[in-house]
Amino acid sequence: MAHIEGFNAGVELKKYISGIDASVDIDNLESSLRQAAVDVRDIISPEVYSLYIKHVELTDIPDAPAENEASSEAYLRWKMMEEMAELLRVPLSAIAFHHHFIWLTIRVSNSGVTTTKSTQETTAYKYQTSEAKNSLLQRAYAGYSDLIDFLTEHADKFSDFAPAFDYKADDLISQYGTFYKANADFTSLEAFDAADWTQAPASEVFLLEWTLSDQKRESESLIFTNYRDFDKYYGIDRSAAFFIKARHIIRKNIMSHLKPRFGTAYPADLMEEIKTFLAYQTVADAIIRLDINWLPESIRGPINDEMNKKGGDVQFIRENLRNKLIEDAKDFLKGIDMARSSKAQTGSETPSFIQFEVKPDADRKYVSSL
């Protein structure tokens, strides 16, 4: 049976979105599933999504090990791909239904656009459909984060060859685009020696597509370790999807505000302030630059509330929210500049006001402090 983005029937979707009717016709969802696939590829990369499609189309499935028999490498890899596919279907199905939601409430025909009402059922209230759509987005973004965590944790780790380095058996390296595994524990010499290594085909490097993806590499080149680190400085509902979508905004703010001040070396004692500024400035810019549906719920909620009001001014609420965050970001940046100025005046890490600190002498009866 031909599948649509990994789903063969509407009932399969119910496993990932329990609130829907199991009788939903998957053919009616095809365009929305295709659009959802575009969104998912934008977060995890087209290459990783292709791995998913290849997996669901696989017919030659490795045999499960017999009792008391060790699992084969092929079977273990297949099991991990199966787990990845399960995680990927969560945001895929939720986003598909979010795209399709309007078509669940109206019917377009030659007679025009109509909606269904009967003695048994009537169209849901707007607040109900809004809550349902928001629930779908929350489900999708939680699913994205679980999927990103899985990809990052299970991708085979490798690094470029390094001289005078202590390698362990089976350590994986990349040398001029070719992968090698260490034959045994050893300390490398100055030059790469093929005798110490066994070549590993790129096809055997698990989730290499994720490791080399722009989404992963660009996100790791920022000041924040990952989306969880960003979430410590501005709550984004631990959304890996938002962090990946906003990576270009983060990089722009680094180049515009931080690189002129610090170059590429950031002082350790100011990292908390730097990350806080960068998080607030990024969210402020994202409010205007990203689609509303990619924003954290703490931002998306007030904007959607305004959208649901009769005569609501969405642009006003977006700009108002952004301006509040911009002011906070400016204050954090001002504090960073004051700390830098203080260091420059004293010529050390000690703040300049310390030189005026009064330290009472226990041997004196009187102390004057101005």
State yes or no: pLDDT of 352 exceeds 50: no
State yes or no: pLDDT of 369 exceeds 70: no
Q: Over the stretch 261-305, which tens digit does the pLDDT of each residue have?
A: 999 889 999 999 999 999 999 999 999 999 999 999 888 888 887
Q: Which pLDDT band, with edges at 50, 70 and 90, does 208 fall under? A: very high
Strands 107-109 and 159-160: unpaired
Q: Which pLDDT band, with edges at 50, 70 and 90, does 19 fall under? A: confident
Q: Over the stretch 62-121, which tens digit does the pLDDT of each residue have?
A: 888 887 787 788 899 999 999 999 999 999 999 999 998 777 776 666 777 667 666 666
Give me the pLDDT at residue 347, please.
Answer: 59
Across the range 253-262, mean pLDDT stands at 94
Strands 112-114 and 172-175: unpaired
Q: Are 249 and 285 in contact (CB under 8 A)?
A: yes
3-state secondary structure of 161: coil
Class of the domain covering 159-205: mainly beta
Across the range 190-203, mean pLDDT stands at 94
Structure tokens at 86: 């399960």
Give me the pLDDT at residue 211, please.
Answer: 94
State yes or no: pLDDT of 23 exceeds 80: no
Burial group, residue 43, by CB count within 10 angstroms (0-12, 13-18, 19+) = buried
> In whole angstroms, what separates CA 219 from the centre of its chain?
8
pLDDT greater at residue 347 or residue 239:
239
- The Cα 359–Cα 357 span in angstroms is 6
Q: Which pLDDT band, with edges at 50, 70 and 90, does 355 fall under? A: very low
Give me the pLDDT at residue 346, please.
Answer: 62
Q: DSSP per residue over 211-262, as a string?
A: HTSHHHHHHHTSSSSSHHHHHHHS--TT-HHHHHHTHHHHHHHIIIIIHHHH
Q: Compute CA distances 101 → 26, 88, 133, whole Å.
A: 14, 20, 8
3-state secondary structure of 329: helix
- The Cα 47–Cα 34 span in angstroms is 16
Counting DSSP H helices and E strands in the chain, the numbers are 14, 8
Q: Which pLDDT band, with edges at 50, 70 and 90, does 210 fall under? A: very high
pTM: 0.84
State yes or no: pLDDT of 179 exceeds 80: yes
Q: Round the average pLDDT of the chain to a whole number and report it.
A: 87
pLDDT greater at residue 188 or residue 302:
188
- The Cα 122–Cα 212 span in angstroms is 50
3-state secondary structure of 9: coil
Q: In which residue ranges of the chain is CATH 2.10.10.90 found?
A: 159-205
